[in-house]
A and B are shown apart, each in its own frame.
Chain A
Amino acid sequence: MHIIAFLLRRSVQAALVMLVISIIGFSIQDNLGDPLRELVGQSVSEAERDQLREKLGLNDPFWVQYGRFLSNAIEGDLGTSYFFKRPALDVIFDKFPATFELVLVSALIIVVLSVPAGIYCAVHPGSFFSRVIMSGSIIGISVPVFLTAIFLIWIFAVELGVMPAYGRGEVVDLGWWDTGLLTVDGVLHIILPAISLASIMLPLFIRLIRAEMMEQLGQDYVRFARAKGLSEKRVRNHAFRNTLLPVVTVGGLQIGTLIAYTILTETVFQWPGMGFLFLEAVNRVDTPLIIAYIIVVGGIFVLVNTAVDLIYTMINPMVKLPGESA
Chain B
Amino acid sequence: MSALLEVRDLRVAFPRGRSDEVFALRGVDLSLKRGERLGVVGESGAGKSMLAFAILDLIQSPGRIAGGSIRFDGQNLLAMSEREIRRVRGKRIAMIFQDPMATLNPVLTIGRQMAEALEAHGRISEREARRRSVEMLKAVQVPQAEARYDAYPHELSGGLRQRVVIAIALLAEPEIIIADEPTTALDVTIQAEIMALLLRLCREREVGLILITHDLAVVAEVTERLMIMYAGRCVEEGPTSEVIARPRHPYAAGLLASLPGHTEPGARLTQIPGSMPPLGALPEGCAFRPRCEHAYARCHLERPELEPDLPGRRVACYLPLGGRT
Q: Which residues of A contact B (CB under 8 A)?
A: 218-221, 223-232, 234, 238, 241-242, 245, 315-318, 326
Contacts and interface: CB of A to CB of B under 8 A. Distances in A.
Given A229-B87, A231-B86, A241-B105, A220 B97 contact: yes
Given A229-B91, A317-B154, A219 B107 contact: no
B99 A234 contact: no
A223 B120 contact: no
B89 A227 contact: yes
B120 A318 contact: no
Contacts of A245: 107
Contacts of B154: 317-318
A223 B58 CA distance: 7
Nearest to B165: A224
Given A241-B108, A317-B152, A326-B155, A228 B103 contact: no
27 contacts: A220-B102, A220-B103, A221-B105, A223-B58, A224-B95, A227-B95, A227-B97, A228-B117, A228-B168, A229-B88, A229-B89, A229-B90, A229-B120, A230-B116, A230-B117, A231-B86, A234-B116, A238-B105, A241-B105, A242-B106, A242-B107, A317-B106, A317-B107, A317-B109, A317-B152, A318-B152, A326-B155
A326 B156 CA distance: 11
Contacts of B90: 227-230
A231 B120 contact: yes
A229 B97 contact: no
A170 B288 CA distance: 81
B94 interface: yes
B155 A241 contact: no
Given A227-B89, A317-B154, A218 B60 contact: yes
Contacts of B246: none
A308 to B, nearest CB: 17
Contacts of A221: 102-106
B168 to A, nearest CB: 7
A128 B95 CA distance: 35
Contacts of A218: 60
A226 B105 CA distance: 12
B144 to A, nearest CB: 15
Contacts of A234: 116, 120
Contacts of B53: 223
B200 interface: no
Given A231-B120, A317-B152, A224 B86 contact: no
A229 B117 contact: yes
B56 interface: yes
Interface in B106-130: 106-109, 116-117, 120-121
Contact of A227 (B58, B102, B107): B58
Interface string B47-60: 00000010010101
A326 B151 CA distance: 10
Nearest to A227: B95
Contacts of B107: 241-242, 245, 315-318
B104 A224 contact: yes
B99 A220 contact: yes
B86 A318 contact: no
A76 to B, nearest CB: 42
Contacts of A219: 102
Given A218-B60, A245-B107, A315-B107, 10 more contacts: A221-B104, A223-B53, A224-B103, A226-B58, A227-B58, A229-B90, A229-B91, A230-B90, A241-B108, A317-B107
Given A238-B105, A241-B105, A317-B152, A223 B97 contact: yes
A315 B105 CA distance: 13
Nearest to A218: B60
Interface in B11-51: none
B106 A318 contact: yes
Nearest to A245: B107
Nearest to A226: B58
Given A220-B97, A223-B97, A318-B152, A229 B106 contact: no
Contacts of A238: 105, 108
B59 to A, nearest CB: 10
B102 A229 contact: no
Contact of B120 (A224, A230, A242): A230
A225 B168 contact: no
A232 B120 CA distance: 11
A224 B97 contact: yes
Contacts of B108: 238, 241
A225 B89 contact: no
Contacts of A223: 53, 58, 60, 97
Contacts of B165: 224
A157 B53 CA distance: 56
Among A220, A229, A318, find the residue whose CB has the most chain B CB atoms closer than 10 A.
A229
Interface in B45-77: 53, 56, 58, 60
A207 to B, nearest CB: 21
